Structure 1
């Protein structure tokens, strides 16, 4: 049970739309309760047209300590904060904002690092591996940088928008020694396949990759978080692949966000309790 909310409770919000299936408030409030932190996370449904007005109003709330940011505001929020963490400068998006006591809002993004952390905690290393990433949108962009930084040998980025995939590949290739290129959504020859597209959220969605080319040694990660496995994960499991759904990434990015917001003790407590 969450501690009683009082006048000193620190408030954190999740902003975006729609939020009906959002799991972050439930996860954060569970972690707050376990740590007996005087804090609460609440969903705040804000449409695209209301974002500027929302930010203007919320800057007057003195006990607002931070915001989690989801679609469709991850890029729009860049122009509405005061400072950008290096992650947001690199990726061009925000998924968490720390509201400092001096009134300054600092934006960061932990989608990619959270995905890598979640994989590592499930025993999946990226070091020296060949990776296929499908999807070069907001989440895919963050994951691409994080995968390369985690020591992947090569990274192929596939997207329906080939120009977007090529642009992302060129940006990531400048960051280090990982060989990064745009290419087809074909898992042949890859150690790890990551689906960072929305394909799989609905039952009639097409498969994001050519699953017939999966082999048992391939690890398949689908960042979609839903109660039942996606069609991609079911197909991969039937072929003997190790699979990960979106939950490890969700937990990983939430814990990194909490650390950024000043709750390093919650992150340590969580991992030490596993």
Structure 2
């Protein structure tokens, strides 16, 4: 008997933790479904979607590097948020075989920050490092929550274009990523009732990638340091942040948060989040 299934696609894909997360929830809920990983090269993306579109047991897929932007023209429709962000990380096969693209990265990124976002602040600023598909979702989400965004990339012009596309205000700033690698003697003003974030939205620091060069003299007092990298989970950036006395958020928080939204669409069920501590143990064992 065939089972309903979903999967995660990318190239490479062996490092993805999504099968563990979705498989854990299916197990806990006692649902008869499965979640796989499938390596899809760039040149094979169109053929992959054509084959899956014809499979009524396929509920959809999560999309990781390098397909979050390339997949856009291959879909039948985009959710308004995904269209605004210009990146898709979740594809759902509808009953009629059409494919809809969603972006759950924004919601997943914000989930662990919600207790802070529920507070009132006089000022919110986020230094976001990276200009890829995940960064697009993060910038859009933060701007919507009242943050002034400083977006850093190897190409500041690309960062500026991204800000102009994703934000309605003109008070955001684009800067060269190398700026944050060098120490600064900038004297931060009083940060009481302010919320400051440092976000690594790039693959730098990931296993097999160069490290992220960030000097913590650029971090205002009481900043929260958030690294979306999941392999390794405890990145050098997070280790350095803790040593410097900053609160940290790791990449599993965003990964589990975005998977929650996708799981509901794939399997029509609510993930059993009471088991998050057990899920984290499984993901890190």
Contact 1:132 1:193 in 2 (8 A): yes
- Aligned-pair distance for 1:208? 3.6
Most deviating of 242-251 and 190-199: 190-199
Structure 1 unaligned segments of length 5 or more: list them: 1-5
Where does residue 101 of structure 1 map in the other structure? 95
Query: Which ranges in structure 2 are unaligned for 5 or more consecutive residues?
Result: 189-194, 278-285
Q: 2:134 aligns with which of 111, 126, 139?
A: 139
After TM superposition, give the deviation of residue 138 of structure 1 in Å. 0.8
Query: Would the aligned equivalents of 1:156 and 1:183 in 2 still touch at CA under 8 Å?
Result: yes
CA-to-partner distance for each residue in 1:186-237, whole Å, 9 max, x for gaps?
4965711101111111488343422234355111011101245211111111
Structure 2 residue 146 is the aligned partner of structure 1 residue 151: yes
Higher relative contact order (CA 8 A, sep 6+): 2
Aligned length: 261
User: How far does residue 22 in structure 1 lie from its aligned partner after superposition?
Assistant: 0.6
**What is the DSSP-based 3-state SS (H/G/I as helix, E as strand, rest coil) of the residue aligned with 2:270?**
helix
CA contact (8 A) 1:151 1:178 kept: no
Q: Which of 231, 234, 242 pairs up with 1:229?
A: 234
- 1:240, CA displacement in angstroms? 0.4
Secondary structure of residue in 2 paired with 1:13: strand
Deviation at 1:114, TM superposition (A): 0.9
Q: 1:81 to 1:173 in 2, by over 3 A?
A: closer
Q: Distance in 1 between matches of 2:113 and 2:222?
A: 16
Q: Structure 2 residue aligned with 1:258, among 238, 252, 263? A: 263
Q: How does 1:34-113 map to 2 (within 5 A)?
A: 34-113=28-107
Distance 2:104 2:213 in 1: 24
Q: RMSD across aligned C-alpha pairs, in angstroms?
A: 2.4
1: CA distance between counterparts of 2:150 and 2:35?
A: 37
Distance 1:124 1:237 in 2: 18
Normalising by structure 2, we get a TM-score of: 0.83
- State how far apart, in whole Å, the 1-side matches of 2:161 and 2:170 are: 16
Q: Structure 1's 230 and 203: CA in aligned 2 closer, same or farther, altered over 3 A?
A: farther
1:99-139, Cα deviation, whole Å (9 max, x unpaired): 1111111111111221111332xx44386421111111111
Contact 2:203 2:209 in 1 (8 A): no
The change in CA–CA distance for 1:136 and 1:54 in structure 2 (over 3 A counts) is: same
What SS does the corresponding residue of 2:151 show, helix, strand or coil?
strand
- Are residues 228 and 259 of structure 1, via their aligned partners in 2, closer, same or farther at CA, if it must alter by over 3 Å? closer
CA contact (8 A) 1:214 1:236 kept: no
